[in-house]
């Protein structure tokens, strides 16, 4: 059979264009049916009818503005029916709508000044031209035309995108040197955005003053609460601008900070757009025979039988009264007459219209609700029974049928067909249809496949508990599809059900009208009645069951229990005895449904929390499971130490390049819209992570690139411990501990003998999950050496291959003791520094400080442990090269800068006068730094280098950051330079207001926060707070991978990445929220770094660690080498001395004092007595900031 040529094209368009769009609209309609919109029935009805009257043939909603047509696709209107931010094209549509109102409703706008409204495209062009300093270029024609329009206007307005994640309304009035700034969130004005518009005004209106002369006033705006609504900022900003231009016609939305009211405002704006379009273009279809179908189907939509998913109400005339409270009527504006909705209970049928079909709007092409049969009562009863069996969520989808156009006044009873077509079978699951595609309908059950292009995952049958866990992390799906799967998965999480139970038992506050004045508003609330059925009836039992499900889930995740436990009869017997009505979840339900849905909910809660935070540190790392699957973990750490496991990326089937890894991290950050809130990126030094850090800093220029110091220290020690001189002692330590680890008899005899020699702790095994493990093993062997000698000499224990090393009074046993002493003397400082630096309260200054401590200890030990000179030279060469790689040739100078800004370190003479710091600075040999710095400054070259880098950070923060205090210096470079020099010089000299150090328990970040926004220290504090908020390591990822290793044992090697990631995320979140997580390396006070003597209690014996070890343990697996990107070792240091002769800090030209008291306190074996007490910072009256200097350029210049 031959088909016309148009048939393939038609079905191709249906499949490629219309089917995806229909799916998006199905999700939008589901959003429209939420219970939160119940008080706003009239707006919902009007929007529903307006969309139904909008055919696909009207695809181009092109709006004519004063600057030309702006096209807008009908399909993109679905964004208004969602909890998503408006994009540029949506804001352009709203701005064009206002432009048409200004052009047509001159009477309404007569009280306002002539206004030029800018769309987002024009704003981007203006900002680009302002950055370049000229309007010349490819966009000159557009900007010139815009400038000519500006000359005839008195003010410029628009909706502006600020901070990378927020919409605000702004009106600039050049003639009055005034800016009206309306932010729904109430944040301070973004002067950077306003400055670019003022600059553009100056190009065409020469009389325009500089931005410094402008005053910022508040533009009234509806309020937004980010805790309940973070997506309606564009709608609320548009309403603020609309109200400013048409104060009589448009009223401000009220109560928008409460849940549901912002979404109602969203619908109100969309309704205005639809009415405006129908009036202008004439989309309204007046098909009389179809209007009754429309009204009947709309009534069904509003009276869905399911009270859980739908509204469960009938349409009444009171809806118009309620909707009047949503938004005050517009005076003088045109109104569109809408028809009433027929009662769905009407059963009259007009036979004259039987068999006629209604106009079907494609955007609502969803399965129709079966109509009640009219032939026999038996058939009616059967249909009622089948409908009763449907779950509420399925009934809700079946309640929405095809709609007819708007404004049809025909009678509802005239188009009821005589023989309505019956629709039977299970209603379609719209969400599942979006995420899956039917592969084979002939099989029973049917075979479905993931809709992602290239994904081969299939289900037979498909179930939400199996589809959602895959879809929310499938890399072949779009971001919107993954988000949709995660949202629906989170709604069924055990914690969500418990929260719903608690909410239903508490007081429920009724919604308030959106625009009711505050004087007339009243809050009415009802309290749920507490009856015996609440505790003992069906409802009470259900609440208990939900709480038990949640408690079991948390137990399994926190303890890392196997899912097979919940399938055991012994487990079920516990609940049969305690709660006979409760049946615990099976393994498949717990692992595949409950934990996965809880994972989705936890991620949503974490993102919601992070949207309110600043100075977030991001870390990431890679690992693998027993089955060979790779996984990358991404964490966010807040300045107060809270850690959140944000995402675990399944790296199976993709190339782990640095670009790919950077894209994964940026995608996670964009989920909470926080690029400008990110302070630093930290990861280890492997090839792809090093490249990814550089890519991330390119995308987020204000963030720091921080290599992971524990990994770097461990690689440094690995290179030293791998020297040929230490090979024999390493063999003895490994062989001896391995023997005792596998010999229960040897362990028992050693445990019995230890008290005789006053040995409190036993041997410690080398493990994969710790750094520098051979040092701790050597220390434990040295500690237990007398007892082991006794066991071997008496013949109680025999250690194969190494027995002769432990025979009393033999040359080999004395040689072993010497080797152990030397090995520990060199490596102990690295091992202790790594443990100290792993704490969540560690800051970049501590990283530099611990390296100073390592060098100080190495200097002393190399002089006293009698190592051969060649070995000492090699150790010095390694340390010098690693120091150069990390602090000199590294990607950042953050560590030295933070070290210099630490109140205690700089006050206690860690840096001394007068020599230069050769390993960080490269200056001409003839230069005398004292001639170029203010008097009274110790370490002048360090002062200059740190000052130069701090100034770079300040300019970078002004250009790319979001610090509101520094933004005022955008157009005042000279003022910034002067203030910075004054404050930094006072800091270096130790004069007012920086004359006092840290108080008891005060952290460096808290210290600098006392100067935040002040005239005496605000500029320096802005960067110092950011520096001390950064977490300089990725140990959060190491801890998570340790937990995943505990989960993924050899007996559970078939686990999937999704399973272990979900369990780790749930465990991490609830431990953080409950403040129960004991972090290794946390100092006793927030202002002190962890000392070396604190690390003794952090190690464990082999008796305590064997239960966590790999049963396939091999000594070669103890310490895995990472890819090392170290540069070739230089032959000379910066001072000209041959590498290896002296350590960093001991050159004649060094400004580093390795003997200062603070270094000795860090290295001490016990706390040292206090010499002088610490004092609290006195409260000083800080004058207001007065900035006089304007203009200039961002150049530091000379200090004197």
Q: DSSP readout, 28-73?
A: HHHHHT-GGGGGGHHHHHHHHHHHHT--GGG-B-PEEETTEEE--B
List Cβ neighbours of 272 (8 Å cut-off, separation of 6 or more).
97
CATH of the domain at 677: 3.30.420.10
Q: In the 3-class helix/strand/coil scheme, how is 178-229 assigned residue by residue?
A: EEEEECCCCCCCCHHHHHHHHHHHHHHCCCCCCHHHCEEEECCCCCCCCCCC
For residue 504, what are the β-bridge partners? none
Q: Which of 217, 259, 255, 216 is nearest to 239 (CA)?
A: 255
Does residue 898 sit in the same domain as residue 991?
A: yes
Does residue 663 sit in the same domain as residue 581?
A: no
Q: How many CB atoms lie within 10 A of CB 1074?
A: 10
Mean pLDDT of all residues in 303-323: 39
Helices (H), 865-921: 869-883, 894-900, 903-907
Does residue 972 sit in the same domain as residue 1074?
A: no
Domain encompassing residue 593 = 493-507+532-599
Q: Which two tokens stand for residue 1002?
A: 């005060």
Q: Which residue has the higher pLDDT, 368 or 587?
A: 587
Cα 768 to Cα 1197: distance, rounded to the nearest angstrom: 51
Q: How many CB atoms lie within 10 A of CB 1101?
A: 16
Q: DSSP readout, 980-1031?
A: HHHHHHHHHHT-TTS-S-PPTT--HHHHHHTTTT-TTTHHHHHHHHHHHH--
Cα 535 to Cα 174: distance, rounded to the nearest angstrom: 67
Q: Which two tokens stand for residue 403?
A: 């709609």
Q: How many CB atoms lie within 10 A of CB 754?
A: 17
Question: Is 469 inside a domain boundary?
Answer: no
Q: How much is the pLDDT for 517?
A: 36
Q: How many CB atoms lie within 10 A of CB 530?
A: 9
pLDDT tier for residue 1152 given thresholds of 50, 70 and 90? low
Lowest mean pLDDT among 439-448, 695-704, 1087-1096: 1087-1096
pLDDT tier for residue 504 given thresholds of 50, 70 and 90? confident
Of 1072, 1090, 1108, the last residue of a domain is 1090
Does residue 911 sit in the same domain as residue 1027?
A: yes
Is residue 919 scored above 50 in pLDDT?
A: no
- Note whether 896 and 920 are within 8 A (CB): yes
Question: Is 1001 inside a domain boundary?
Answer: yes
Q: How much is the pLDDT for 653?
A: 78
Cα 59 to Cα 455: distance, rounded to the nearest angstrom: 32
pLDDT tier for residue 1164 given thresholds of 50, 70 and 90? low
Cα 814 to Cα 820: distance, rounded to the nearest angstrom: 10
Q: Which residue has the higher pLDDT, 354 or 557?
A: 557
Mean pLDDT estimate for the chain: 74
For 931-954, what is each residue's pLDDT tens digit? 578 887 877 888 888 999 999 999
Mean pLDDT of all residues in 1094-1109: 46
3-state helix, strand, coil in the chain (%, to 5): 50, 10, 40
Q: Which residue has the higher pLDDT, 90 or 526?
A: 90
Q: State the DSSP H helix or E strand holding residue 793, giving kind and residue range, or none if neither.
A: helix 785-793
For 970-1019, what is each residue's pLDDT tens digit? 888 888 899 999 999 999 888 888 888 888 888 899 999 999 988 889 99
For 152-190, what is each residue's pLDDT tens digit? 778 899 999 988 888 999 999 988 899 999 999 888 888
Q: Which residue has the higher pLDDT, 806 or 84?
A: 806
Q: How much is the pLDDT for 352?
A: 36
Does residue 1024 sit in the same domain as residue 1043?
A: no
- Note whether 41 and 315 are within 8 A (CB): yes
Question: Is 665 inside a domain boundary?
Answer: yes
Q: How much is the pLDDT for 362?
A: 40
Q: Which residues of 299-321 are buried (b: 16+ CB within 10 A; e: fewer)?
A: bbbbbbbbeebbbeeebeeebee
Is residue 336 scored above 60 in pLDDT?
A: no
Cα 286 to Cα 294: distance, rounded to the nearest angstrom: 12
Does residue 975 sit in the same domain as residue 1043?
A: no
Of 129-133, 923-927, 1038-1042, highest mean pLDDT: 1038-1042
Does residue 1071 sit in the same domain as residue 996?
A: no
Q: How much is the pLDDT for 574?
A: 92
Q: How much is the pLDDT for 110?
A: 46
- Note whether 707 and 890 are within 8 A (CB): yes
Is residue 101 scored above 50 in pLDDT?
A: yes
Q: How much is the pLDDT for 918?
A: 34
For 1-26, what is each residue's pLDDT tens digit? 677 777 777 777 777 777 777 777 78
Cα 539 to Cα 71: distance, rounded to the nearest angstrom: 53
Of 1053, 1069, 1090, the last residue of a domain is 1090
Cα 623 to Cα 1120: distance, rounded to the nearest angstrom: 12
pTM attached to this predicted model? 0.59
Question: Is 26 inside a domain boundary?
Answer: no
Q: Tokens 């440094």, residue?
A: 716
Cα 1136 to Cα 916: distance, rounded to the nearest angstrom: 13
Question: Is 86 inside a domain boundary?
Answer: no
Q: Which residue has the higher pLDDT, 413 or 301?
A: 301
Q: How much is the pLDDT for 536?
A: 52
Three-class SS state of 1178:
coil
Q: How many CB atoms lie within 10 A of CB 203?
A: 17
**φ, ψ dihedrals at 1162, nearest 5°:** -65, -35
Mean pLDDT of all residues in 1160-1166: 52
Angle at 985 between CA 983 and CA 988, to 5 degrees: 110
Is residue 228 scored above 50 in pLDDT?
A: yes
- Note whether 687 and 660 are within 8 A (CB): no
Question: Is 905 inside a domain boundary?
Answer: yes
Is residue 387 scored above 70 in pLDDT?
A: no
Q: Is 1126 exposed, middle or buried (0-12, 13-18, 19+ CB in 10 A)?
A: middle
Looking from the CA of 888 toward its CB, the CA atoms found within 13 Å total 19
For residue 156, what are the β-bridge partners? 116, 172
- Note whether 214 and 177 are within 8 A (CB): yes
Q: Is 538 exposed, middle or buried (0-12, 13-18, 19+ CB in 10 A)?
A: exposed
Of 1090, 1119, 1136, the last residue of a domain is 1090
Does residue 1026 sit in the same domain as residue 1049?
A: no
For 951-963, what is each residue's pLDDT tens digit? 999 999 998 888 8
Mean pLDDT of all residues in 294-311: 42
Is residue 828 scored above 60 in pLDDT?
A: yes
Q: How much is the pLDDT for 641?
A: 87
Mean pLDDT of all residues in 217-245: 88
Distance of CA 610 to the CA centre of its chain: 6
Question: Is 362 inside a domain boundary?
Answer: no
Q: In what order do the strands lie in the sheet with 704-707?
A: 643-650, 630-637, 616-624, 678-683, 704-707
- Note whether 1004 and 845 are within 8 A (CB): yes
Question: Is 187 inside a domain boundary?
Answer: no
- Note whether 707 and 684 are within 8 A (CB): yes
Q: Which two tokens stand for residue 430?
A: 């719209």
Does residue 952 sit in the same domain as residue 1071?
A: no
Q: How much is the pLDDT for 1176?
A: 35
Does residue 898 sit in the same domain as residue 992?
A: yes
Does residue 620 sit in the same domain as residue 677?
A: yes
Domains identified in the chain, total number: 3
Does residue 567 sit in the same domain as residue 619?
A: no
């Amino acid at each position: 059979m031959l088909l016309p040529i148009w048939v393939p094209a038609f079905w191709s368009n249906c499949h490629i264009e219309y089917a995806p769009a229909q799916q998006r609209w199905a999700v939008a309609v589901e959003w429209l049916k939420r219970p939160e919109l119940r008080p706003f029935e009239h707006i919902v009805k009007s929007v529903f009818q307006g969309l139904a009257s909008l055919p696909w043939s009207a695809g181009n909603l092109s709006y004519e503005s004063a600057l030309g047509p702006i096209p807008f696709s009908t399909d993109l209107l679905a964004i208004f029916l969602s909890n998503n931010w408006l994009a540029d094209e949506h804001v352009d549509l709203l701005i064009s709508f206002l432009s048409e109102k200004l052009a047509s409703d001159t009477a309404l706008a007569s009280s306002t000044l002539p206004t030029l409204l800018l769309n987002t495209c024009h704003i981007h062009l203006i900002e680009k031209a302002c950055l370049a300093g000229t309007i010349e270029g490819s966009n000159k024609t557009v900007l010139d035309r815009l400038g000519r329009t500006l000359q005839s206007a008195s003010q410029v307005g628009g909706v502006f995108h600020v901070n990378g994640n927020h919409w605000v309304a702004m009106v600039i009035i050049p003639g009055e040197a005034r800016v009206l700034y309306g932010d729904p969130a109430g944040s301070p004005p973004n002067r950077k955005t306003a400055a670019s518009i003022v600059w553009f005004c100056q190009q065409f209106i020469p009389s325009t003053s500089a931005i410094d002369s402008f005053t910022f006033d508040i533009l009234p705006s509806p309020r937004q609460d980010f805790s309940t609504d973070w997506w309606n900022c564009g709608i609320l900003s548009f309403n603020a601008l609309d109200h400013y231009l048409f104060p009589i016609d448009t009223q401000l939305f009220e109560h928008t900070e409460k849940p549901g009211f912002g979404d109602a405002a969203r619908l109100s704006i969309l309704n205005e757009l639809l009415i405006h379009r129908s009036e202008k273009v004439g989309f309204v279809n007046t098909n009389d025979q179809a209007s009754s179908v429309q009204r009947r189907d709309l009534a069904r939509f509003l009276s869905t039988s399911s009270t859980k998913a739908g509204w469960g109400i009938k349409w009444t005339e009171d809806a118009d009264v309620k909707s009047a409270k949503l938004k005050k009527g517009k005076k003088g504006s045109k109104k569109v007459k809408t028809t009433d909705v027929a009662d769905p209970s009407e059963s009259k049928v007009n036979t004259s219209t039987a068999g006629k079909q209604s106009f079907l709007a494609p955007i609502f092409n969803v399965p129709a609700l079966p109509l009640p049969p009219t032939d026999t009562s038996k058939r009616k009863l059967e249909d009622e029974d089948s409908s009763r069996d449907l779950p509420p969520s399925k009934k809700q989808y079946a309640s929405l049928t095809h709609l007819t156009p708007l404004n049809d006044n025909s009678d509802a009873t005239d188009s009821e067909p005589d023989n309505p077509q019956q629709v039977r079978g299970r209603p379609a699951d719209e969400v599942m249809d979006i995420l899956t595609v039917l592969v084979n309908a002939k099989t029973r059950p049917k075979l479905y496949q993931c809709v992602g292009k290239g994904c081969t995952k299939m289900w037979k049958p498909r179930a939400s508990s199996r589809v959602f866990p895959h879809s929310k992390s499938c890399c072949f799906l779009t971001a919107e599809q993954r988000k949709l799967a995660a949202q629906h998965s989170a709604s069924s999480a055990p914690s969500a059900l418990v929260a719903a139970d608690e909410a239903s038992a508490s007081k429920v506050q009724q919604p308030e009208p959106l625009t009711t004045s505050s004087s007339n508003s009243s809050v009415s609330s009802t309290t749920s009645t507490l009856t015996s059925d609440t505790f003992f009836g069906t409802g009470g039992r259900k609440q208990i069951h939900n709480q038990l499900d949640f408690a079991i889930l948390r137990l399994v995740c926190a303890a890392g229990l196997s899912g097979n436990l919940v399938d055991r009869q012994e487990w079920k017997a516990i609940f049969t005895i305690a709660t006979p009505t409760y049946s615990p979840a099976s393994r498949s339900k717990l692992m595949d449904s409950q934990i996965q849905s809880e994972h989705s909910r936890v991620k949503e809660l974490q993102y919601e929390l992070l949207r309110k935070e600043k100075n977030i540190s991001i870390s990431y790392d890679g690992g693998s499971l027993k089955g060979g699957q790779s996984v990358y973990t991404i964490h966010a750490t807040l300045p107060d130490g809270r850690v959140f496991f944000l995402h675990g990326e399944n790296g199976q089937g993709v190339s782990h390049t640095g670009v790919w890894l950077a894209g994964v991290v940026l995608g996670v950050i964009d989920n909470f819209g926080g690029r400008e809130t990110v302070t630093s990126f930290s990861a280890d030094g492997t090839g792809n992570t090093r490249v990814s850090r550089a890519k991330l800093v390119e995308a987020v220029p204000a963030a720091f690139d921080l290599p992971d110091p524990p990994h770097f220290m461990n690689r440094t020690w690995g290179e030293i411990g791998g020297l040929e001189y230490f090979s024999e002692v390493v063999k003895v330590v490994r062989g001896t501990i391995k023997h005792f680890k596998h010999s229960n008899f040897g362990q028992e005899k050693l445990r019995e003998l230890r008290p005789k020699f006053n040995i409190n702790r036993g041997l410690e095994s080398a493990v994969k999950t710790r750094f520098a493990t051979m040092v701790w093993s050597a220390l434990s062997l040295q500690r237990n050496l007398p007892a082991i000698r006794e066991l071997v000499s008496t013949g109680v224990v025999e250690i194969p291959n190494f027995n002769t090393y432990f025979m009393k009074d033999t040359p080999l046993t004395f040689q072993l003791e010497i080797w152990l002493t030397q090995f520990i003397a060199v490596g102990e400082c690295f091992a202790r520094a790594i443990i100290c630096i792993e704490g969540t309260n560690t800051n970049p200054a501590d990283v530099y400080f611990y390296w100073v401590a390592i060098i100080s200890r190495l200097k002393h030990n190399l002089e006293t442990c009698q190592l051969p000179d060649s070995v000492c030279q090699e150790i010095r060469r390694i340390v010098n090269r690693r120091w150069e790689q990390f602090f000199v040739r590294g990607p950042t100078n953050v560590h030295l800068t933070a070290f210099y800004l630490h109140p205690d370190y700089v006050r206690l003479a860690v840096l001394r006068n007068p020599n230069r710091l050769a390993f960080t600075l490269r200056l001409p040999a003839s230069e005398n730094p004292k001639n170029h710095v203010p008097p009274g400054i110790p370490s002048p070259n360090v002062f200059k280098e740190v000052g130069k880098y701090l100034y770079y950070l300040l300019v970078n923060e002004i250009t790319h950051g979001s610090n509101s205090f520094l933004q005022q210096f955008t157009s005042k470079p000279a003022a910034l330079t002067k203030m910075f020099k004054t404050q930094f010089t006072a800091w270096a000299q130790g004069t007012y207001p920086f004359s006092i150090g840290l108080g008891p328990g005060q952290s460096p970040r808290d210290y600098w926060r006392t100067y935040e926004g002040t005239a005496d220290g605000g500029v320096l504090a802005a960067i110092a707070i950011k520096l001390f908020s950064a977490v300089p390591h990725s140990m959060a990822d190491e801890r998570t991978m340790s937990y995943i290793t505990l989960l993924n044992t050899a007996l559970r090697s078939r686990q999937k990445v999704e399973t272990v990631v979900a369990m780790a995320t749930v465990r991490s979140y609830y431990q953080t929220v409950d403040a129960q997580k004991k972090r290794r390396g946390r100092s006793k006070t927030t202002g002190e770094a962890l000392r070396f003597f604190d690390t003794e209690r952090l190690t464990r014996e082999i008796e305590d660690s064997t239960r966590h070890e790999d049963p396939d343990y091999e000594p070669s697996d103890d310490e895995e080498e990472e890819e090392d990107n170290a540069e070739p070792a230089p032959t000379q240091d910066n001072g000209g001395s041959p590498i290896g002769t002296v350590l960093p800090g001991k050159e004649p030209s060094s400004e580093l004092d390795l003997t200062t008291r603070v270094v000795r306190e860090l290295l001490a074996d016990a706390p040292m007595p206090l010499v002088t007490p610490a004092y609290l910072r006195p409260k000083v009256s800080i004058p207001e900031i007065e900035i006089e200097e304007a203009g200039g350029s961002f150049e530091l210049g000379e200090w004197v």
